[in-house]
Amino acid sequence: MHKTLKRYFPIFVLPTLSVFAVLFLVPFVMGVFLSFTHFKTVDSSEWVGLANYIRIFTTDKTFMNSLWLTVRFTVVSVISINVIAFSVALLLTRGLKGSNFFRTVFFMPNLIGGIVLGHIWSLIINGILAFFGVDITYDPSYGFWGLVVMMNWQLIGYMMIIYIAGIQNIPDDLSEAAAIDGASPAQTLFRITIPMVMPSVTICTFLTLTNSFKLFDQNLALNGKSADTALLALDIYKTFYDHTGLKLDQWHGEGQAKAVIFFLIVALIAFVQLRATGRREVEQ
């Protein structure tokens, strides 16, 4: 069977592979290469070694600022989203009537695209702040917290679904045994429920982490006009496209170097996550 199928490579694999190679692999490799150059366009590059990387960490402050901002944002979002999502999941797995309705309502925001989402919240937040005579650009922390609230709104429903599935997968006999043993609700929660849904916790942590870290669309829509509230992805974008004139080649090179570091951090997170899940799954 393999012998015959092997010959069919051009039909089964070649289309996907060629598009993948030309439109992903090549740009990726070029991206890595260009991060070590100054370039106005892709075919006019000049090798500068580590100059871009050095600039990022020394003279150009925007990168470190957005990195720090992104880290803070991610940490706050991951914690708030997961705690709330898990709590809501607990409430919705008690077999109360109408749980499905609530589930539908909470999940819906997840489908709304980043740009639309950002603008909806932009209007609402500016509307609220208008009472105080300011808008979202007044203080960076307004932009920050606005982003956090919006992120929660979007992701709580998604994580809640995963937690609900995890909680529902706990065998009934465990909680029954606990009840017979005389465990209080709080004890059941911490000694049984939470340990048993650890796989879901790992997955949700991973998803919220990567989503928050890589956030772009919503950031652009909500904070586009503010100065200091660009997360990493937006900062990279600005480095590329918000500059004109001289030194464009320098900005491009720097943008690409930022992108490479961005990629490395995301890859590191994924790698650590994979290790952590792998180990814990075995223990389960």
Report the site for other proteins in 176-215 (rule: CB under 8 A).
Answer: 200, 203-204, 206-207, 214
Residue 130 binding other proteins, by CB under 8 A: yes
DSSP state of 60: -
Residue 229 gets which letter from DSSP?
-
| Residue range at the interface with other proteins (CB under 8 A); choices 59-67, 74-82, 150-158, 176-184 | 150-158
41 forms part of the interface with other proteins (CB under 8 A): yes
Is residue 278 close enough to count as binding other proteins by CB under 8 A? no
> To the nearest whole angstrom, how small is the minimum distance from the Cβ of residue 72 to other proteins?
19
Selected from 36, 53, 73, 106, the binder of other proteins by CB under 8 A is: 106
Among 50, 64, 111, 134, interactor with other proteins by CB under 8 A: 111
CA gap 179, 162 in Å, rounded: 25
The phi, psi pair for 46, rounded to 5°, reads -130, 125
Question: According to the binding rule CB under 8 A, does residue 251 interact with other proteins?
Answer: no
Determine if 134 is a binding residue for other proteins (CB under 8 A).
no
266 binds other proteins (CB under 8 A): yes
Give the distance from CA 41 to its chain's centroid: 30
Written as one string, the DSSP assignment of 69-124 is HHHHHHHHHHHHHHHHHHHHHHHTTS--TTHHHHHHHHHGGGGS-HHHHHHHHHHH
Closest approach, Cβ 212 to other proteins, in A, equals 13
Q: Which of residues 42-61 bind other proteins (CB under 8 A)?
A: 42
Residue linked to tokens 């890595």: 32
Helices in the chain by DSSP H: which ranges?
2-6, 9-12, 14-20, 26-34, 51-57, 61-91, 99-107, 114-130, 140-168, 172-180, 185-187, 194-196, 198-213, 217-223, 232-241, 248-283
> Taking the complex as a whole, how short is the minimal distance between the CB of residue 13 and other proteins, in angstroms?
5
Name the one range near other proteins by CB under 8 A: 53-61, 62-70, 99-107, 172-180. 99-107
Return all residues near 112 (Cβ < 8 A) that are at least 6 apart.
120, 154
**Binding positions for other proteins, 76-95, rule CB under 8 A:** 88, 91-92, 94
Task: Give the interface segment with other proteins, choosing from 73-81, 124-132, 176-184, 187-195 (CB under 8 A).
Answer: 124-132
